[in-house]
């Protein structure tokens, strides 16, 4: 199976076999890096990275992955790019494709990354949009596979919180494609859209996935081996929504009592980061003061720092899985 020349825009563009190929390649590349046996396969290749939204993990993962493989990167942020301001997305795509071997985009609009791919004849990668977060999904699935009690059984996981987000959308659809037992646990107003649910149910019908959307925390967490959450207010949303979101989601905060609802003492906690688990950030301090959440917002500090937390394995795996995408699509 070859993925050479393919774009990586959203999970629904791929079959379960193709995604499994990327996950297996990522595991192999991770092992090679740790044993010093990695062979660079992207020597001389050039990657353009467009960042309309700020980034830590996506930026360093693409940079290190490309350099490990012998390639080079150029970062274009809003201060150094004309995209969408003085130059159209279509024109930007055609310019970059003449100079670079691949293009990464991280920004608000899924339409923008799709348009980049439409007008570019080199692979385009979605580093995050408001609708989908496919590179994060590969990292999440690799991490869950590494920690699953039964490597041959379908993954059982819950996503708790604002599920209208890219993480809610992607975890639902990715799980459907991969035949997982997926629980979306949130107030109904914060569930993925009907369109996203329809995509998930269509793909899940082919794989035997079990898809549950519920407002009941106990129902959603019971039997889950992995518990995911994310910040309650996403990048680009106004600060004014915090009051409404805290009111809606306070009962869905992941603390020790919530983890106990899984019924599995070995259940693991995941978060795509950054997380407001303490008062070490300006936002964390403000939310603690305004809403009485001194021990973390979407997740308690106790859970975040507990043995159940595998968030830093998850963060590391962003690099290994992104490297797999680069190697698979550029060789």
CB 181 within 8 A of CB 157: yes
Chain segment 110-122, per-residue pLDDT in tens: 999 999 999 999 9
CB 65 within 8 A of CB 319: yes
Least confident of 77-91, 136-150, 217-231, 285-299: 77-91
- pLDDT for 77: 86
Mean pLDDT score across all residues of the chain? 96
- pLDDT for 251: 98
- pLDDT for 235: 75
Q: How far is CA 11 from CA 34, 141, 239, 295, in A?
A: 28, 12, 30, 34
Higher pLDDT, 84 or 239: 239
- pLDDT for 236: 77
Angle of helix 89-99 versus helix 110-119 axis, rounded to 10: 50
- pLDDT for 138: 98
Pick the CATH number of 150-265+268-307 from 3.40.50.720, 3.10.180.10, 3.40.50.1370, 3.30.70.360: 3.40.50.1370
Angle at 306 between CA 291 and CA 322, to 5 degrees: 95
* pLDDT(86) > 90: no
Class of domain 11-133+318-330: alpha beta
Q: Which residue has the tokens 């919530």?
A: 258
- In the chain, alpha helices (H): 16-35, 57-68, 89-99, 110-119, 134-147, 166-177, 194-207, 217-221, 242-249, 256-260, 282-291, 301-304, 311-330
- pLDDT for 82: 66
Confidence of residue 48 (pLDDT cuts 50, 70, 90): very high
Residue ranges of the chain that CATH labels 3.40.50.1370 = 11-133+318-330, 150-265+268-307
Chain segment 162-212, per-residue pLDDT in tens: 999 999 999 999 999 999 999 999 999 999 999 999 999 999 999 999 999
- pLDDT for 276: 96
- The pTM of the full predicted model, rounded to 2 decimals, is 0.97
* pLDDT(80) > 80: no
Chain segment 248-261, per-residue pLDDT in tens: 999 999 999 999 99
Percent of the chain surpassing pLDDT 70: 99
Percent of the chain surpassing pLDDT 90: 93
Distance in angstroms (rounded) separating the CA atoms of residues 174 and 140: 10
């Amino acid at each position: 199976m070859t993925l050479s020349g393919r774009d990586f825009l959203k999970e629904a563009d791929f079959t379960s076999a193709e995604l499994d190929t990327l996950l297996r390649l990522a595991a192999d590349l991770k092992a090679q890096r740790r044993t010093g046996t990695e062979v660079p396969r992207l020597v001389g290749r050039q990657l353009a990275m467009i960042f309309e939204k700020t980034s830590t993990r996506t930026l360093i993962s693409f940079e290190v992955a490309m350099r490990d493989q012998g390639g080079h990167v150029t970062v274009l942020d809003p201060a150094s790019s004309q995209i969408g301001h003085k130059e159209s997305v279509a024109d930007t795509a055609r310019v970059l494709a003449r100079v670079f071997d691949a293009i990464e985009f991280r920004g608000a609009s899924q339409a923008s990354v799709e348009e980049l791919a439409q007008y570019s004849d080199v692979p385009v990668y979605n580093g995050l949009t408001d609708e989908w977060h496919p590179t994060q999904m590969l990292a999440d699935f690799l991490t869950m596979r590494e920690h699953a009690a039964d490597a041959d059984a379908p993954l059982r996981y819950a996503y708790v919180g604002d599920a209208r987000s890219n993480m809610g959308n992607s975890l639902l659809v990715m799980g459907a494609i991969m035949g997982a037992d997926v629980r979306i646990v949130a107030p109904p107003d914060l569930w993925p859209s009907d369109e996203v649910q329809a995509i998930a149910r269509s793909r899940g019908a082919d794989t035997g996935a079990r898809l549950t959307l519920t407002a009941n925390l106990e129902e959603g967490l019971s039997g889950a081996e992995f518990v995911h959450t994310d910040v309650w207010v996403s990048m680009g949303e106004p600060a004014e929504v915090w009051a409404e979101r805290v009111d809606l989601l306070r009962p869905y905060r992941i603390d020790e009592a919530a983890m106990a609802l899984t019924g599995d003492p070995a259940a693991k906690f995941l978060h795509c980061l950054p997380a407001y688990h303490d008062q070490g950030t300006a936002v964390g301090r403000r939310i603690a003061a305004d809403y009485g959440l001194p021990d973390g917002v979407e997740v308690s500090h106790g859970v975040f720092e507990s043995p159940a937390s595998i968030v830093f394995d998850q963060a590391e795996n962003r690099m290994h899985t992104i490297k797999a995408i680069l190697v698979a699509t550029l060789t």
